[in-house]
Copies of this chain bind each other. A is one copy, B any other.
């Protein structure tokens, strides 16, 4: 219940709520810096102290979000006279507050402890290809996250509740529909590619020193317009992006035999960073200065990675830098083909090409949904995994290490995260179509290294809104149409038909 004072229409109520929320948001960003440091800079011995620092910040932030005073400030803001943006900000804070207060502190701590303990167990199980040693922990995590979902909404499908932690507004039915279409339409496309006799170029057969690859990554970020005054490029075991509109840093990794891997992952992370950097400075610390969750974030990374970074005009632009840095003299067309090879024999999600990637996601989605519903037992995961790999991609992993143990997500207790990768890729195509319809000769801009128009379009239509719109509204505002897989499937069919003479 609100107190009498807060029921009045208080003109300062919004500012007061943002003050409280700003503290929580800043603590979250501080955790982000600690996380970046841990993965990029921290000496190994720092782990025990860093774990305590991170859990102190997360417990503090949870407490600040769930106090009665915070609830009162929220109610007061809700009864104040607000403009549309403010109302949206309050809506987002209400959602976050509700989800936090409904879950017992005890359960939060058990999940946090169990995931901490799960990480080394998973690492060892993967190293030793021993699913049985990870199975009991996975079982516990499934139970805990099911209970977590039940506490948030006892009447809802628990997987839907978990999915909404990562994508709050698209809805599980949309995810199922879109992933279903990807499965239906990509499996035959991939089959056709496998049967094609087209022989795509493969110009990167040598060894490419890390320093040369790094120079090329920096050249590429320069060309794309990365703001080095608000960013950095570093190396980490797994590429990621971290930060805010004032400081959005990317990482990559280098494999001396695979320069394309570092390059495409750098462009991917650049896309994430541009989203952060496009959020409005003056809304920092409020939901209007925060990115719209994972599927929209992934749409930005995939738009740059695939629709720019795997396009013909981009390789016409980049070819001279590649030739110089990597000392290789293939043609732009060769580079373009190399960047677009489809290789269904690959078993590893993070190494997958633009098409088969989605089959890795569909498989994980189906398995984790059935795990949470109870239709699939943990012990049966390896078998089901291998069957689905065979069904969708015609290959079977030789080991669980390169099968159901390959990804870290479940050891974090992250069920419902995987679908956002494909949902974002699909949205990338839809946004790119909309941008191309409004920017005169977008391909020409890309080939000329002129990315301002595309940056401006994305900032105006996506980034600057922060969390003002719910995901479906954001898509409609930006593209004029409903969220759908049409644009992606058209793009994929057309591009690969041309490449593979289908």
Assess A56 versus B43: contact at CB under 8 Å? Given A48-B246, A49-B247. Answer: no
**Residues on B with beta carbons closer than 8 Å to the beta carbon of A34:** 30, 33-34
A48 in complex: contacting residue of B30, B64, B249, B284, CB < 8 Å: B284
Please, how many angstroms separate the alpha-carbon atoms of A381 and B36 in the complex?
Answer: 44
Any B CB within 8 A of the CB of A340: no
Assess A57 versus B27: contact at CB under 8 Å? Given A34-B33, A46-B246, A47-B246. Answer: yes
**Residues on B with beta carbons closer than 8 Å to the beta carbon of A46:** 230, 243-244, 246-247
**Residues on B with beta carbons closer than 8 Å to the beta carbon of A48:** 246, 281, 284
Chain B residue with the shortest CB-CB distance to A31: B30
Any B CB within 8 A of the CB of A60: yes
- Contact mask A431-459 → B, CB, 8 Å, 1/0? 00000000000000000000000000000
**Residues on B with beta carbons closer than 8 Å to the beta carbon of A64:** 60
Scoring A56, A229, A230, A281 by chain B CB atoms within 10 A of each residue's CB, the highest score goes to A56
**Residues on B with beta carbons closer than 8 Å to the beta carbon of A47:** 246
Chain B residue with the shortest CB-CB distance to A30: B53
**Residues on B with beta carbons closer than 8 Å to the beta carbon of A53:** 26-27, 29-30, 33
A229 in complex: contacting residue of B22, B43, B245, CB < 8 Å: B43
Count residues on chain A whose CB falls below 8 Å from chain B CBs: 42
Taking chain A's interface residues, is the majority helix, strand, or loop, or is none over half, making it mixed?
helix
Any B CB within 8 A of the CB of A42: yes
**Would you call B228 and A43 a contact (CB within 8 A)?**
yes
Any B CB within 8 A of the CB of A227: yes
Please, how many angstroms separate the alpha-carbon atoms of A55 and B27 in the complex?
Answer: 10
**Would you call B26 and A227 a contact (CB within 8 A)?**
no
Any B CB within 8 A of the CB of A197: no
**Would you call A37 and B33 a contact (CB within 8 A)?**
yes
**Would you call A23 and B229 a contact (CB within 8 A)?**
no
Any B CB within 8 A of the CB of A44: yes
| Chain B nearest Cβ from A244, distance in angstroms | 5
- Contact mask A119-147 → B, CB, 8 Å, 1/0? 00000000000000000000000000000
Chain B residue with the shortest CB-CB distance to A231: B43
- Contact mask A50-89 → B, CB, 8 Å, 1/0? 1011011101100010000000000000000000000000
- Contact mask A8-49 → B, CB, 8 Å, 1/0? 000000000000001100110110011001000111111111
**Residues on B with beta carbons closer than 8 Å to the beta carbon of A409:** none
**Residues on B with beta carbons closer than 8 Å to the beta carbon of A52:** 22, 26, 284-285
**Would you call B37 and A227 a contact (CB within 8 A)?**
no
Within 8 A of B (CB), among A219-255: 227-232, 243-247, 249
**Residues on B with beta carbons closer than 8 Å to the beta carbon of A285:** 52
| Chain B nearest Cβ from A274, distance in angstroms | 14
**Residues on B with beta carbons closer than 8 Å to the beta carbon of A33:** 33-34, 37, 53
Assess A227 versus B59: contact at CB under 8 Å? Given A29-B53, A53-B33. Answer: no
**Would you call A57 and B43 a contact (CB within 8 A)?**
no
| Chain B nearest Cβ from A52, distance in angstroms | 5
Please, how many angstroms separate the alpha-carbon atoms of A50 and B45 in the complex?
Answer: 26
Chain B residue with the shortest CB-CB distance to A32: B53
Please, how many angstroms separate the alpha-carbon atoms of A74 and B49 in the complex?
Answer: 24
**Residues on B with beta carbons closer than 8 Å to the beta carbon of A23:** 56, 59-60
Please, how many angstroms separate the alpha-carbon atoms of A44 and B227 in the complex?
Answer: 11
A284 in complex: contacting residue of B49, B55, B246, CB < 8 Å: B49
A27 in complex: contacting residue of B26, B56, B243, B244, CB < 8 Å: B56
Please, how many angstroms separate the alpha-carbon atoms of A323 and B56 in the complex?
Answer: 48
Assess A50 versus B284: contact at CB under 8 Å? Given A23-B59, A56-B23, A232-B41. Answer: no
Please, how many angstroms separate the alpha-carbon atoms of A64 and B56 in the complex?
Answer: 12
**Would you call A247 and B27 a contact (CB within 8 A)?**
no
A41 in complex: contacting residue of B41, B59, B227, CB < 8 Å: B41
Residue contacts A-B, CB under 8 angstroms, 13 given: A23-B56, A26-B49, A26-B57, A30-B34, A41-B41, A41-B232, A43-B229, A43-B231, A44-B229, A45-B230, A45-B246, A46-B230, A52-B285
**A-B CB proximity, top 8 nearest:** A46-B247, A26-B56, A45-B230, A49-B246, A45-B229, A30-B53, A26-B53, A26-B52
A residues sitting closer than 8 Å to B (CB atoms) are 22-23, 26-27, 29-30, 33-34, 37, 41-50, 52-53, 55-57, 59-60, 64, 227-232, 243-247, 249, 281, 284-285
